[in-house]
Structure 1
Amino acid sequence: MGVPERLRPLLPRERGVNAHVDPARMSHDQLLAYCYDLEAKVEANRENDEAQGLARVRRHFHLTGTEAEMLVLFSDGKMHRKEHILTALYSTSAGDEPELKIIDVFVCKLRKKLDGSGIVVETVWGQGYWLRDTAALKAIMAGEQPETADAPALDLKRPAGSKPRPHGSTRDAALDWLRRKAIGNPVIEFFPSELSRAIDTLTSGASIVRYLEKSGYVEVLFASPRRGGAKWRVKLTEKGLSRAPER
């Protein structure tokens, strides 16, 4: 039984690298596990790139986190209905979504901050909003356009305007959140983005979980290879359940 076609590019031979793994010596299950793990790592790297783009946009225009997420959403050049925007911004806030009219408020504030930049959020009457020209925005997201001189430096591990976190606090905040969800059962399921939002960080949830796994705090039982796919399944280890993470 072969490797699924979508995973074949992740094989060492297909990627053209001198890997330490020889597919010929691996069982089918080992090979699949290896490919799925690589795909999850690729996804984590992509999420890091997206976080970098989001941070640049937020810095450049002095946006709030929600405003920046909305603007980046428009970078695809497609028309987005208000319902879709609301879902994209509050997908991990089940039962806690604001009313639909809040989107109009966000767009109004966003337009004021974009004034004079050449980036215009246009209204498609009766449907939603879109950006006609996304080139300038994509250049900022990619770091190809200089940031405004008075833009404050932004630590990717914290939102703009917040106080710098001491070393290890992102890890500790993530562990505290995981422990609260793990009451009565060390195995928990969640979307990585849910973790990032919960602890108010721009660092991708996937990267945080992988760091915790490498440090021995959690065991990843299942990692969705695609953003927006199935929830991740994670088990807190004895070390992770401890109330005193090592410094």
Structure 2
Amino acid sequence: MSANRTKNLRRLAVLLLALILLGSGGYLLWKQLDYQAGAADYAEAAETAAVPQLRAVPVPEQGEPAEPDPNPGLLAEVDLNSLREVNEDVRAWITIPDTLLSYPVVQCGDNQYYLNHTWQDKRSSVGAIFLECKCAPDFSDFNTIVYGHRMNNESMFGILHSYQEEEFWRTHPTVYVVTDGGVRVYDIYAAFEVGIQEIVYRLDIEETGREQELIDFGLEHSVIDTGVIPDAGSQILTLSTCTGRGHATRWVIQAVLREVI
């Protein structure tokens, strides 16, 4: 091989490497800007709805009295109608205090649109927190399923993976959902990885009388032991996100309705 040819090949290799680095840098910059724009959309949502700052109420240690929970009263003032002036698909507000999880919940006719659109209908990889399209919009089904992306910065449903540790559950045991019917207070009872074909995602649970089967499945597969045990007459909330290991399984948190205020 001639010296000139060798030199040209080296130049070509350097050029290709430079293009790859430039492309990678451009993608990372675009991703960062996309995330920042999404975060701004949701900060605006919280301001528009006047969502208060909440404090997590931990599960008391054995023998200790339970702390009073001020959060439902504070959340009763959240203004969902102001959000609907921007997007009529808004159904609720969901939050876990002392985490980044505090967002409007939207719902439309399919489960694809809000994978890559924010609550303001802006195209974004951040997406939105959205209700299963076939679930009742007032969260009155036996099992209400809500989806969200697993973000590396723990925004959206990224924080849900922290429930692999029982201590995190103990300090963040409650999910609050604000609907037109009031503030729904849910106690988390299970956290686990599950296949997308399992009973967790069945939408005919009530029609087929499999309520107890769904509860037992969650309790048996949970990686944390909360001591919270629903019954077949309960209402369940299932929060579903990615595992980071492909599309065959999801990471879910299940909680049982304690009260509506």
- Same fold, TM exceeding 0.5? no
Higher strand proportion: 2
Higher gyration radius (CA) = 2
Q: TM-score, normalised by structure 1?
A: 0.26
